[in-house]
Amino acid sequence: MQLEASHINSHATAPPGRLPPAVAIAIAGIVLTGAGALLNLKAPGILLPAAWEALQNPSEAPLLLKGGLLDYLEQGWISSPFFLELASIQITIATLLSLFGILFALTSLVERKVLARIQNRYGPNRVGPCGLFQPIADGIKMLIKEDIVPRGADKTVHLLAPVVMVVPALLVLAILPYGPGLTPVELSVGILFFFALGATTEVAVFMAGWGSNNKYSLLGAMRAIAQMISYELPLILTALAVVMMAGSLSPVAIVEAQGGYSMGFIPDWFALTPWGIAAFILFFIAALAEANRSPFDLPEGESELVAGHLTEYSGFKYATFFLAEYIGLFAICGLAVTLFLGGWHAPLPVLEFIPGYIWFFLKLFALVLAAIWIRGTVPRIRTDHLMYFAWKFMIPAGFVIILAAAAWHYSGAGWLGWIIATPIVLLPYLILARGLSNRYATSGRTYRFSEG
Amino acid sequence: MTQLYQQPRINGSIQPNQEPVTDTDMSLNGTTKYHHETEVSGIADPAPANRLSSGVPDAVPETRLSARPTAGEYGNTPERRPFRLPGSGIVQGMMVTARNWFGSYFDRKRLVTVQYPEQQIRPPENSRSIPFLVYDGDDPDAGLRCVACHTCEKECPPQAISIVGERDENGKPARRPKVFDIDISVCMGCQICAEVCPFDAIKMDHYLDHSSLENFQSLILGKTRLSKSNAYFHTINSTDATAVDARLEADRKKKEAARQKRAAAK
Amino acid sequence: MIAIPDCSFNTTENRDPAAELLELSLGPQHPSTHGVFRMNAVLDGETVVRLQPVFGYLHRNHEKIAENVSYLASIPYTDRLDYLCSLTNNWAYALSVEKLTGLDVPERAEYIRIILAELTRLQNHTAFLGFLLGDMGAWGTALMYGFRQREKVLDLFESLTGSRMMSNYMRFGGCRCDFPEGWLEQARTVIDEYPEFLDEMEQLLVSNEILISRTQGVGAISPERAINAGLSGPILRATGVDYDIRKVDRYGIYDRFSFRIPIGDQGDTYDRMMMRLLEMRESLKILKAAIDEIPDGPIVNPKAKLRNLRPPEGEAYGRIESPKGELGFYLISDKQPQPYRFRVRPPSLINLTLLEEMSIGHKIADVMVILGSIDIVLGEVDR
């Protein structure tokens, strides 16, 4: 009766568009920088052709732009080859940082929007069109908030924890192959590097929990340690299967091993093999646990531990944790794309004209969206179940997958492989199903009714 | 007849208590240990024999438990429990959330919130916030229906109303309030004042934005701020306002007729 | 002199040398204590060793106030007991005053009461599911779905009683006002839409493996224990005890409707959740029948007095099956306008008494779920 459309009096359709100060400052900065660059008269002559070339050849665009910029620096500013090398590294780092910074801002908005839509709400829509400037507003809010350090806290550890958290998260971005020739650091042991650095996050979480001198924080940190160490193993085991198949620890080699199409249109991604799909699902679950994402967000499980290891953090330190968690999520999703979803390769041959880095980020974003979707659906898992799940299911399943991958490899990676590898993967799953339905009434219980 | 509810029915049959149930040790720091045995005494007898009021039947029919859920009921019979793949429940749940996720872009039913300050849903007529005083005509002073009878003041549960009646020069009550204050920080909007008012002088408002920076004086609404016209009452609750108008008109006519009768009798 | 219970545990004395215990005070400001409720928990790792509920933070002196105001003036205060189900609170209070005064209730008013009570049950259980999932950390999705549906019931309440939650609707010997134009049709639409929502909710929740693993076998109580502790409502029926005051007392006109009472058998959190889900379906049956059959007639006993009610000397205990359990009001009248004694039997408080027993041995995360499954409202616990 009340919710009829006719009763909704729309006084104003949208608030009038005004330029928020932060955007004005950003635009002014860009204009000033551009003007400064143009004052050096060589700039247009070098940068514009590079930009034009990049436009014509989009798949090479990042490299061409970087080359143009380096040329410009070489002719106008820097003569020493050492500093030029340094500048080259700096350009890569700056690009990565700003790219993932923007992605972080975007994801924090998209996450809130998607969660809101899942929950039948609008989500943030007040700051800017469709709430686009919400991340900026959030950032400003975080920056100007008071930074509270508890009196009993270990101040050094409390301060260092967010820094220690964010550094490895950023470092691991260096080894991901974003496109053909677009790997910042082409390490031959890239996967090893990734896991080695990824494991240091646990130290940061424990630092946060211990340094806060808060019982909730400590409990959260203990949970985080147990969880992350347990889930490293299935993560590594499933990655190991891929490493076995590709015969290399180098992410670039792994992506290249997934190039090509069978039957002309099915991409040769590892996720499209019987062992690979299982490994991918397992990897993704473990990745969610590793990134402290729901349903494995126990360290900050807000319904029991208030905010876990983040309880005593506020202001910019909290924002740094937030940033580190998202970057960690991107990194691990990027690794999942590299290992299983063919990295920069297009899903169909006809789509190959789209540059590889776009495919990489599209896949990455799809995985992030899946993580958000899962977060909007499931309740949180319990500590002991989490450990049982890791040690009693994920790790044995990881071994099974290695077995299946070997069977796939030695049976020629064809139809015979499907016949042999599929049961190896499926059988333990069905056994698990059996065991679960013995332990829990997984298909519901029967209830009696009193007719009274 | 034994009352069935005196005996607990446990899983379909009445089971005697096999072993005494002991309370867990409730003494937490070891000082006051008490430990007692309790037995199943059944549900506390609501004393049907000396029940104080009528209307409650004393005989409770035999309780039956249906042995098995009928078709379309929840759950499955244990003999044929289907084999459920682990993870399928989560996938099923994710389908529900996906339906809501995408549905919220197309389906008005799935996106039920309105953007409050810009869009406002008109509250239903009966909706209530705090009371206001109705006056007829245009003059809030002259047209006030309130006669300062103190009924609402007496009945107000949190005693938020305070009334001082006006007196004329002879000291007789002037059937008009001199002071009519409602402390809206105390008022709980229960509408008992509107219910008990014999003159339909106080009614419930829809207006909600009463917040103020000052805690005390600005939250005590006086006569001037409380008085609102009958026309306003018509805009927020026309059903009630029309009924009240008709009632008052009938009253007036009756009085008029009585006066004419009296005049004619004279 | 009131003995103040010692609410702190001594974790250093009697300490098991093998286990270092951690005392954790959860609440009163805590995201999932459902209001200002505090639990003093002693943890061994994550396992709860001891737990003491501490409440009283929301004590508002309801019973004493009621002994000092008129019978009528207590009705709006009863709204604020269990603020999710004010209409059933009203009914329980009105029922006990009617017992005290011997007032009959007209038939239409009885139908109205049943419709409103069952709607209240619906919206309470709907919100309960959402809150329970929120306690499990489901990021409010189920909560928002529940609220989406509950809003429709609250809209009905608002257009009838004037308020979404603080209804102040039942009166001694009837109800305050009749349905506005089109109310029953709107109610019928809401009721017809409800099964669709329940299906969606069941799809989302009931077979979710994480939910199953977190609720099955968690916080189980035996029927004997439940009876001894005086539990009532869905939490008692989940243990397998067939006890519903709607069937036992048949207050109002519940004997005219055919509905069934779901009975659990494990008494754990999952059963408690399922009791509510199944009860909602039964409530819908009652609602449909009541809306179809509701007769015309007066809605309040003409003999009923609104003001200056002075019941004859005596005492009465009126109880109903509120969504949370047995809600009773015990009144003693000494022929004054105020009751001589006014006492509430709150289901939330009494259901809460077994919290420690249910929680011990479980993980700290389970405590929140168990607390959520008891379905307390602090307004009623603390009164």
Q: Which residues touch A83 (CB under 8 Å, ≥6 apart)?
A: none
Query: In angstroms, how far apart are the furthest CA atoms of chain B?
Result: 97
Q: Tell me which residue of A301, A195, A210, A302 sits closest to A249, measured CA to CA.
A: A195
pLDDT of residue C119: 92
Q: Is the ipTM of this complex over 0.85?
A: no
What distance in Å separates the CA atoms of residue B164 and residue C167, rounded to the nearest whole number?
Answer: 30
Q: Are A377 and A80 in contact (CB under 8 A)?
A: no
Cβ of A380 within 8 Å of Cβ of C137? The answer is yes
Q: Are A120 and B112 in contact (CB under 8 A)?
A: yes
Please tell me which of the candidates C46, C145, C261 has its beta carbon nearest to residue A383.
Answer: C46
Nearest CA in chain C to B151: C307
Delineate the domains of chain C, giving CATH numbers in brackets: 62-382 (1.10.645.10)
Phi, psi torsion values for A218, nearest 5 degrees: -65, -45
Which two tokens mark A391? 């040690």
Do C200 and B96 make contact, defined as CB atoms within 8 angstroms?
yes
Give the tokens for residue B39: 């037995």
C206 burial level (CB within 10 Å; 0-12, 13-18, 19+): buried
Upstream peptide bond of C28 is cis (omega within 30 degrees of 0): yes
Assigned domain for B164 exists: yes
- Within 227-286 of A, beta carbons closer than 8 Å to C belong to none
Reduced to 3 states, what is the DSSP secondary structure of residue C329? Answer: strand
pLDDT of res. C88: 92
- Res C15: pLDDT: 53
Instruction: Look at chain B and report how many structural domains it folds into.
Output: 1
DSSP E strands, A200-295: 261-262, 266-267
**Cα–Cα distance, C270 to C259 (Å, whole number):** 22
Would you call C46 helix, strand, or coil by DSSP?
A: coil
In sign, the C-alpha dihedral spanning B248, B252, B255, B261 is negative
CA gap C304, B148 in Å, rounded: 26
Cα B108 to Cα A1, B105, B118, distances in angstroms: 15, 8, 18
- Write down the pLDDT at residue B94: 87
Nearest to C244 by CA among C271, C262, C265: C262
List of chain C residues with pLDDT < 50: 1-2, 4-5, 7, 10-11
- In this complex, the chains that touch B, judged by 3 or more CB pairs closer than 8 A, are A, C
Q: How far A221 CA lies from chain C's nearest CA (Å)?
A: 12
Interval B52-74 mean pLDDT? 38
Range of the domain at B171: 131-265
The residue assigned the tokens 């029953």 is C184
Any A CB within 8 A of C321 CB: no
DSSP A77: T
In chain A, residues 370-389 whose CB comes closer than 8 Å to chain B: 373-374, 376-378
Among residues C99, A177, A79, C219, the alpha carbon closest in space to that of B47 is found at C99
pTM: 0.81
Inside any domain, residue B60: no
CB C307 within 8 A of CB C72: yes
Give the type of residue at C292. D
Please provide the distance, in angstroms rounded to a whole number, between the alpha carbons at the two ends of chain B.
74
Please report all neighbours of A, defined by 3+ CB atom pairs within 8 A: B, C
CB contact under 8 A, A449 and C214: no
pLDDT of residue B15: 40
What are the phi and psi torsion angles at C369 (to 5°)? -70, -40
Neighbours of B82 (CB within 10 A): 9
| Of the candidates A124, A126, A102, A129, the residue with the CA atom closest to the CA atom of residue A113 | A124
Task: Reduce the DSSP state of residue C268 to 3 states and report it.
Answer: coil
CB C338 within 8 A of CB C311: no
Q: Which two tokens stand for residue C367?
A: 């405590």
How many other C-beta atoms lie within 10 A of the C-beta of residue B59? Answer: 8
Judged by a CB distance cut-off of 8 A, whether residue A439 touches chain B is no
Please list every residue in chain C whose beta carbon sits closer than 8 Å to the beta carbon of residue B56.
249-251
Please tell me which residue of chain C has the smallest CA distance to B239: C180
Which residues of chain B neighbour C264 with C-beta distances below 8 Å? none
Contacts of C212 in chain B (CB under 8 A): 89
For chain C, which chains pass the contact test of at least 3 CB pairs under 8 Å? A, B
Evaluate whether residue B14 is within a structural domain: no
CB A260 within 8 A of CB A348: no
Q: What is the greatest pairwise CA distance in chain A?
A: 94
Tell me which H or E stretch contains A450: strand A448-450
| Residue scoring higher pLDDT (C106 or B173) | C106
Among C194, C185, C133, C134, which residue's Cα sits nearest to residue C159?
A: C185
Quick one: how far is CA B84 from the chain centroid?
Answer: 45
| Cis upstream peptide for C223 (omega within 30°) | no
Residue of A nearest to B76 (CA): A446
Let me know: does B184 contact B221? Beta carbons within 8 Å. Answer: yes
- Angstroms from B74 CA to nearest CA on chain C: 8
Among residues A89, A61, A60, A62, the alpha carbon closest in space to that of A73 is found at: A89
Measure the N-to-C terminal CA separation of chain C; round to a whole number of Å: 21
Residue B139's pLDDT band (cuts 50, 70, 90):
confident
Contact A436 B86 (CB under 8 A): yes
Q: Do the Cβ atoms of C228 and C331 come closer than 8 Å?
A: no
Could B113 and A452 be called an inter-chain contact, meaning their C-beta atoms sit closer than 8 Å?
no
Q: Does C349 touch chain A (CB under 8 A)?
A: no
B:C CB pairs within 8 Å: 173
B-contacting residues of A 103-122, CB under 8 Å? Answer: 114, 117-122
Torsion of CA A103, A106, A107, A113, to 10 degrees: -170
A288 contacts A297 by C-beta, under 8 angstroms: no
C-alpha to C-alpha distance for A306 and C33, rounded to whole angstroms: 11
Tell me what pLDDT residue C122 has.
Answer: 92
pLDDT tens digits for chain A (452 residues)?
Answer: 344 444 444 443 444 456 667 777 778 877 877 776 666 656 666 777 777 777 777 777 777 777 777 777 777 666 777 777 787 788 888 888 888 888 898 898 999 888 888 888 888 888 878 888 888 888 888 888 888 888 888 888 888 888 888 888 888 888 888 888 788 888 888 888 888 888 888 888 888 888 888 888 888 888 888 888 888 888 888 988 888 888 888 888 888 888 777 777 788 888 888 888 888 998 999 998 888 888 888 777 777 777 778 888 888 888 888 888 899 899 999 999 988 888 888 888 777 777 888 888 899 999 999 999 998 888 888 888 888 888 888 888 888 888 888 888 888 767 777 777 787 788 878 887 777 766 676 666 777 777 76
Is residue B143 included in any domain, yes or no?
A: yes
DSSP string, C236-255: HHTTTB---HHHHT--TTGG
Question: DSSP of A8-41, one letter per residue?
Answer: EEES-SSPPP---HHHHHHHHHHHHHHHHHHHST
Q: Identify the sign of the CA torsion A41, A47, A48, A50.
A: positive
Tokens of C209: 């493996």
Smallest CA–CA distance from C268 into chain A, residue: A445
- pLDDT, residue C19, reads 56
CA distances from A57 to A62, A70, A180 (A): 10, 18, 13
* Secondary structure class of C170 (helix, strand, coil): strand
Closest residue on chain C to B155 (Cα): C73
The CA distance from B226 to B232, in Å, is 12
- Secondary structure class of C317 (helix, strand, coil): strand
- Counting beta carbons within 10 angstroms of the beta carbon of residue A18, is it exposed (0 to 12), middle (13 to 18) or buried (19 or more)? exposed
Yes or no, beta carbons of B29 and C148 under 8 Å apart: no
CATH (domain of B255):
3.30.70.3270
Q: How far apart are CA B64 and CA A351, in angstroms?
A: 67
Residue B15, domain member (yes or no): no
* pLDDT at position C118: 92
* Residues in chain B within 8 Å Cβ distance of C214: none
User: Please, are residues B155 and B180 in contact by the beta-carbon 8 Å criterion?
Assistant: no
Q: How far apart are CA C99 and CA C104, in angstroms?
A: 9
Does residue B41 fall inside a structural domain? no
pLDDT digit string, tens, across residues B91-110: 888 888 888 888 888 877 77
Nearest to C136 among A2, A380, A440 (CB): A380
Neighbours of C18 (CB within 10 A): 6
Q: List all residues 6 or more positions away from A260 whose beta carbon is below 8 Å from its beta carbon.
A: A267, A268
User: DSSP string covering chain B, please?
Assistant: ---GGGS--BTTB-----SPEEPP---SSSSS----EE----SPP--STT-SSSSS-S--PPP-EESS--TT-SS--GGGPPP--TTHHHHHHHHHHHHHHHHHHH-GGG-----TTTEEEPPPTT--SSEEEEE-SS-TTTSB------HHHHH-TT--EEEEEEE-TTS-EEEEEEEEEEETTT-----HHHHH-TTS-EEE--------SSSSGGGEE-HHHHEEEHHHHHHH-HHHHHHHHHHHHHHHHHHHHHHHHHHHH-
| Type of residue found at C99 | K
Q: At what angle do helices C141-161 and C107-135 cross, to 10 degrees?
A: 160
